[in-house]
Every structure is written in structure tokens, then in C-alpha cells.
Amino acid sequence: MNAPAYAVAPGDVARDRATVLGIWRGNLGQDARMQAKYDWFYAQCPYGAPLLQLLRHGPDGTAVGAAVGAAAAGPRRMLRDGQPIAAGVLVDLAVLPEHRSLGPALMLQGGLAQAGGERFGLLYGFPNPKAAAVFKRVGYDRLGDIVRRARVLRHAGYLARRLPRPLAAVAGFVLDRARALVDTVRVPRERLAAAWSEAADARFDTLWAASPKGEGVVGVRDAAFARWRFDASPLARTRYLLLTGADGALRAWFACQVEDAVLHVRDFWSDDAATGIGHARVAALLRAARKAGHAAVSVEFAGADARAAGWTAAGFVDRGRRPVFGRWSDGSAAAAVAIHLTSADEDE
């Protein structure tokens, strides 16, 4: 009698909900959160159901064995050199503990890569550094790094880690005022009006249609994407900072979420984003964040340094980075294609 073995088989988002949630339980996060994520990310995706693959364990490695692992690729609309492509973001790889070894995980990732290559022009993901070797073995190449950059606005809390609290409060106040003054002097002049919005603005479509997209890969940043990715998400509350010019036209927007007094920019687009969002637009974000009482602002962005110049000019510094891996169905060399990715290009 042959020992039980593994096989990878297609899953169905509607049919296999309970099976997938069972595999996730205790592996990926709080049960209630993961159920809410499934019903949003998997069942309500406007670009089609995610590609779901199940790892099954049974006699002779057949596809009728018990499901012991799952992995998926969520569909995304992207452009490559201005031309539409279908892309899939790799998400939610989970294997039950008793089957958690390199062989089954590689088989599951390999099955997803093969099926994904038939549906998507690009498969990409953001693995933790420890999983990078697995991605390489499956056939993914490194597209680059997504870099987290941050700018401190209120320094007292950070100084209190090294100084007595009363002294940190005084020193922080002085440093805050000095940095704000420097920002005012150094920022290029541009007449911009800033306003917060609780929902995606219909003008996102006009801005996206009129703005250059640049070379390489960028996700479609229209109102429909923002409404699904942020407004419909049950996982976090998002507010948008909208910047308009003197003529009333939308120049830039930032999708923001707050955690522990830090304003996290999860996504952004502007009429100059293809070459690098301008210093003046980032400075307007900082002024709005400072006025709202936030202690710091952070952003994650994967792309050429030139496209991040507006952030660094505004005082953002690197705080960490993660690799981005990808696989082109046409066999293109990953490193030869420029990228513009943010936190919004992940699953949550």
C-alpha cells in the first residue's frame, strides 16, 4: 500500500470557503478578521475571483485527498509600459502544522505559479526575507524592494526614550517648531488646497486618465480601485487627503490609515507620480498631518529612487525594506521592468 502523498488541485472561492478558513485558523490571524477578509478580498473582488489552489493529502497523491494547505493570487489591473495587463498578487499561503515542511509548501507554490502563469501576465508577491529562497526555487525573480520611509513630526515621544520626560517635552517642542520652519523655507511654492475625505473621490478617474503613467508596471489608480481596496475593506478605516490646484482640479491624493498616532500612507497618486511625486505635494501632506495631530507619517513604496525623491526631499528616511518578487508569463527578465508599487498593491 502506498504512503499518503500530496497533490495540488484548483479551489473554488465560493465552494471552498469553509475549507480555506479551516486551514487559516490559527495560522494567519484572528478568525473573525480572516473571515471578514475572505468575504471582502475573495468574494467581492471586482476583477474576478482570486485564483485559489489547494494542497491535498491522500492516497497516491490524488486530488481527492483532504485539503491541508491553500494559497491564492488576487487579480489586479495593471499597466505595463502603458498597456493593460492582468496581474495577480500572491497571498495567504498556509499549510496545516503537521504538513508544514519544505516539500509540500514548494509543491503548493509551484502549482499556484503554473496556474497563475496561464491566467496572469504577472504574478508578484511580498514575502518576508526568510521566504525569499522558496520564491527563487519556484521560479520567481526579484523585482526590487518595497521601502518603508518615515518622517517624524512630533519628537517628544521619541526623545523620551533617551531623556527625562519633562526635558523631552521641551526639547521636542523646540525641535518640532524648528523642523516646521525649515519645511516652510525649503518647500517649492505651489498653490495647493488640502482637504480630507472619508471616501474615494470621483475625480480620481479624471486624474488617472489625464496623468502620465510612465514606463514599467503600475497598478490602475482610479476611483473603482480605491472604493474596493479601501472603502469596502472591513479591515481598516481609510481617509483620503485631496490636493487641488488653483483651478480646482485634483492634483494628488493620499489614502491614509492611522495606527498609534502615525499616519500611514497606504497609496497615493498625482499628476506627476510617473516621474516622482513633487516635494510640494508631500509637504502639503505633512502640513495636514501636523495639523491633525499625528506624531509621524510613513509610506511604503517600491520603485526607482528618482520616483521617491519628493519623499526624501521632504525629510523621509528609510526605516526598512522588504523584497518584491515577480514572474512574467512571457519570460521577461524581472529586473529589466521598472515598478511603481505601494502598500495598496498588497492584499491588506
Structure confidence by residue, pLDDT tens digits, 295-311: 999 999 999 999 999 99
181 and 99 inside one domain:
no
What pLDDT shows up at residue 63? Answer: 61
**Helix-, strand-, coil-residue percentages of the chain, each rounded to 5:** 35, 35, 30
The pLDDT confidence band at residue 130, using thresholds 50, 70 and 90, is: confident
340 and 221 inside one domain:
yes
Buried b vs exposed e over 258-294: b needs ≥16 C-beta within 10 Å? Answer: eeeebbbbbbbbbbbbbebbbbbbbbbbbbbbbeeeb
Tens of pLDDT, residue by residue over 33-51, are 999 999 999 999 999 999 9
Q: Which of 201, 182, 180 is nearest to 288 (CA)?
A: 180
CA distance 260 to 255: 17
Does residue 279 sit within a domain? yes
Does residue 135 sit within a domain? no
Does residue 133 sit within a domain? no
Q: How many domains does the chain have?
A: 2
Mean pLDDT of 49-55: 97
Does residue 302 sit within a domain? yes
CA distance 112 to 123: 10
The answer on pLDDT for 328 being more than 90 is yes
Q: Which three cell numbers stand for residue 48?
A: 474576478
Kindly report the CA angle at 134 between 128 and 135, in degrees rounded to 5? 75
- Domain span including residue 229: 147-345
Tens of pLDDT, residue by residue over 141-179, are 999 999 999 999 976 666 567 767 776 566 666 566 767
What pLDDT shows up at residue 65? Answer: 79
Does residue 90 sit within a domain? yes
Q: What is the CATH number of the domain that holds 308?
A: 3.40.630
42 and 188 inside one domain:
no
Does residue 131 sit within a domain? no
285 and 250 inside one domain:
yes
Kindly report the CA angle at 131 between 73 and 333, in degrees rounded to 5? 65
186 and 323 inside one domain:
yes
CA distance 74 to 119: 11
**Which one has a higher pLDDT value, 130 or 15?**
15
301 and 237 inside one domain:
yes
The answer on pLDDT for 1 being more than 50 is no
161 and 101 inside one domain:
no
Does residue 70 sit within a domain? yes
